[in-house]
Amino acid sequence: MTNSNREIAVDAIVVGAGFAGLYMLYRLRKLGLTAKVIEAGSDVGGTWYWNRYPGARCDVDTAMYSYGFDEKLQQEWEWSEHYAAQPELQRYLSHVADRFELRSDIWFDTRVATADYDERNASWTIATESGDTVHARWCILATGNLSVGRIPEIPGLKATSLPVYHTGNWPHEGVDFTGLDVAIIGTGSSGIQAIPEIAKAAKHLTVYQRTPSFTVPANNRPRDPAEYAELKKLYPELRRSLYAGEIYGAGEPLEPGSRFRRSVAIADASEDERRAEFQQRWDRGGGHFNGAFVDILTSETANEAAADFVRGKISEIVEDPEIAEKLSPRGIPIGTKRLAVDDGYYATFNRDNVTLVDLRDDPIAEVTDSGVRTEKSERRHDVIVFATGFDAMTGAILKIDITGCGGASLREKWAAGPRTYLGLMTHGFPNLLLVTGPGSPSVLGNVVCHIEQHVEFIADMLADAAARGEDVIEADLAAEDAWVERVNHQADQTLYPRANSWFLGANVPGKPRVFMPFVGGIGLYRQICDQVVADGYAGFERGKANQSAQAARG
């Protein structure tokens, strides 16, 4: 990267030009603030810019995984399928950037290295890896929850001459697998999407699976024009319903106040009713499978019934009973790792050119120049694909060297796990705002609707502060402590902490095991935020920059 040495002062700096950063810029401009967005990629898109692997597509119906803030935009944009693929999502975000003329305030190909808070001026100084400096009152991190890819340390990997790819950082020119013997490591959502596509293209595909995941069919299909026109008429009500938490999770069922939002506990359904409910959700497709009963994520009995249903489907679809058993998750409650949504995943293991290696029986020993050696055997490959996930939720934030009041380091403050108030701010780091930070519902459900809510909360809070002549905002320590406790308490009421998921940081060796998202759901979370606003931004200390830093912080 070349040194560019730009130096500017703006009201707000936004890091990241994905769904969150683009909408944040739009709202900051509406407030009359000057803003600059810094983006590491060469274009907008965030996670949809980087995750270009074969099969990459949204696991939520894109009619709802899209912005609702502009009526014309949602009326004019045409999604071609229910679960749009990466190129279409990238086109959508590019269209949004053009439509609202956002690009002029974005620096592309630029990565933020450090962010330092100056207490005397209540402002942030951001330095980029290429030598730029930005001074800003507000520093807003729209860095995404799944931005920092993880390739595990495996003996021999650094030295291998084989081509190695990670699903989260896929070459823009694509990879031609024709005639190749491919290894893929990892069977989470990304692996589950990539495996069927790579299997179709490659000579042979070997899937190295450490833990089987639950996945349900997407039943993806082109949008029916009449149905889509009807949906567009209902958009305002559908968005309201989704944002109020009346639609299960991500919002696949496209009816207001949806009948797919069920309040029935499993104990109140007969065996036949249970099966019928699971079956119709399986047939319809999508992640709302887990909304079949209200207690699937809180009751072991309900969870086991859902898990059993899916295991039954695996044994129906997969012809070899031994492979079916290896693919069947056991001991992990369904939904406690994000439920994957697939397109022909289990059936892929019936193909002659696909081999499943169960790493629980036969762990990887090393990567060589000719392939992968496990403890029991050695296989030749031409290429290795890692679908091994991300340093989620905190990875992109902590990659930046952030110092707050008194030179305190955010990495040190969060050494035992992230601490935030509402997932929006962290005490000791005034004027640093997080979009869908740890402690907010963020990754549970439809992240675009969570992003819109956070961006609007932040914009309204900045407008309110400006109206009162205030320019310092900081999370109150007691409010933060109480919120962290509440996030943990909510998670402990559910089965979520039972899985070694990235929600818990359990996928990254050495990362503190703390449940990071707020599991109470978007409806409850919005109510809490609305109450905070009604109470005059309770839990946020606010003041003026020209007061002494101590006084400003109360």
Spatial separation of the C-alpha atoms in residues 148 and 153, rounded to whole Å: 15
Selection from 553, 164, 215 nearest residue 367 by Cα: 164
Residue in this structure with the two tokens 């899985």, named with its chain if needed: 499
Q: Which amino acid is at 10?
A: V
Say if residues 152 and 27 touch (Cβ distance below 8 Å). no
Binding mask 137-156 toward ligand NA7 (x if CB under 6 A, else -) reads ---------x-----x----
The CB-of-359 to ligand NA7 minimum distance in angstroms stands at 6
Please tell me whether residue 511 binds ligand NA7 under the rule CB under 6 A. Answer: no
Spatial separation of the C-alpha atoms in residues 389 and 244, rounded to whole Å: 30
Nearer to ligand NA7 by C-beta: 365 or 477? 365
The CB-of-509 to ligand NA7 minimum distance in angstroms stands at 9
Compute the residue count for the chain.
Answer: 554
Nearer to ligand NA7 by C-beta: 115 or 397? 397
Count Cβ atoms below 10 Å from residue 181 Cβ, excluding itself: 17
Residues in binding contact with ligand NA7, number by CB under 6 A: 20
Please tell me whether residue 281 binds ligand NA7 under the rule CB under 6 A. Answer: no
The CB-of-183 to ligand NA7 minimum distance in angstroms stands at 11
The CB-of-553 to ligand NA7 minimum distance in angstroms stands at 36
Q: Could you give the 3-state DSSP secondary structure of residue 423? A: coil
- Which of 110, 123, 189, 215: binder of ligand NA7 (CB under 6 A)? 189
Please tell me whether residue 445 binds ligand NA7 under the rule CB under 6 A. Answer: no
- Which of 211, 355, 370, 409: binder of ligand NA7 (CB under 6 A)? 211
DSSP code of 64?
Answer: T
The CB-of-45 to ligand NA7 minimum distance in angstroms stands at 15
Nearer to ligand NA7 by C-beta: 149 or 543? 149
Say if residues 244 and 238 touch (Cβ distance below 8 Å). no
Please tell me whether residue 188 binds ligand NA7 under the rule CB under 6 A. Answer: yes
Binding mask 307-346 toward ligand NA7 (x if CB under 6 A, else -) reads -------------------------------x--------
Distances (CA, A) of 494 to 161, 298, 509, 515, 519: 45, 4, 24, 11, 8
Q: Which of the residues 346 through 405 are near ligand NA7 (CB under 6 A)? A: 359, 387-390
- Which of 19, 309, 502, 540: binder of ligand NA7 (CB under 6 A)? 502
Nearer to ligand NA7 by C-beta: 189 or 348? 189
Q: Which of the residues 217 through 256 are near ligand NA7 (CB under 6 A)? A: none
User: For ligand NA7, which stretch binds (CB under 6 A), given 22-30, 103-111, 179-187, 520-528?
Assistant: 179-187
SS (H, E, C) 211-223: CCCCEEECCCCEC
Torsion of CA 182, 188, 193, 197, to 10 degrees: 10
Please tell me whether residue 186 binds ligand NA7 under the rule CB under 6 A. Answer: yes
Spatial separation of the C-alpha atoms in residues 340 and 348, rounded to whole Å: 15
Q: Could you give the 3-state DSSP secondary structure of residue 355? A: strand
Nearer to ligand NA7 by C-beta: 395 or 404? 395
Selection from 154, 147, 176, 152 nearest residue 163 by Cα: 176
Nearer to ligand NA7 by C-beta: 381 or 542? 381
Selection from 82, 503, 60, 452 nearest residue 290 by Cα: 60
- Which of 223, 507, 515, 549: binder of ligand NA7 (CB under 6 A)? 507
The CB-of-164 to ligand NA7 minimum distance in angstroms stands at 14
The CB-of-506 to ligand NA7 minimum distance in angstroms stands at 8
DSSP code of 445?
Answer: S
DSSP string, 452-494: HHHHHHHHHHHHHHHHTT--EEEE-HHHHHHHHHHHHHHHHTS
Q: Catalog residues that contact ligand NA7 under the rule CB under 6 A.
A: 146, 152, 167, 185-191, 210-211, 338, 359, 387-390, 502, 507
